[in-house]
Amino acid sequence: MFKDNLMMLRKMRGMTQEELAEKIDVSRQTLSKYETGVSHS
């Protein structure tokens, strides 16, 4: 699933949620929702 792949790839690159969120121009809270499957958009 998307949420699992997102978290796995982020961790493989040694990035925090904050770092990835900044790179993809979303808030850390939004990224967290993506990783937990709460948000799908």
1-41: pLDDT as tens digits: 899 999 999 999 999 999 999 999 999 999 999 999 987 65
Question: What is the pLDDT, as a whole number, of residue 36?
Answer: 93
Strand, helix or coil for residue 12: helix
Question: What is the pLDDT, as a whole number, of residue 40?
Answer: 61
Query: 40 CB contacts (<8 Å, ≥6 apart)?
Result: 2
What is the pTM assigned to this prediction?
0.82
Domain ranges in the chain are 2-35
7: Cα within 13 Å, side-chain hemisphere: 9
Residues 20, 12: contact at Cβ < 8 Å?
A: no
Residues 2, 31: contact at Cβ < 8 Å?
A: no
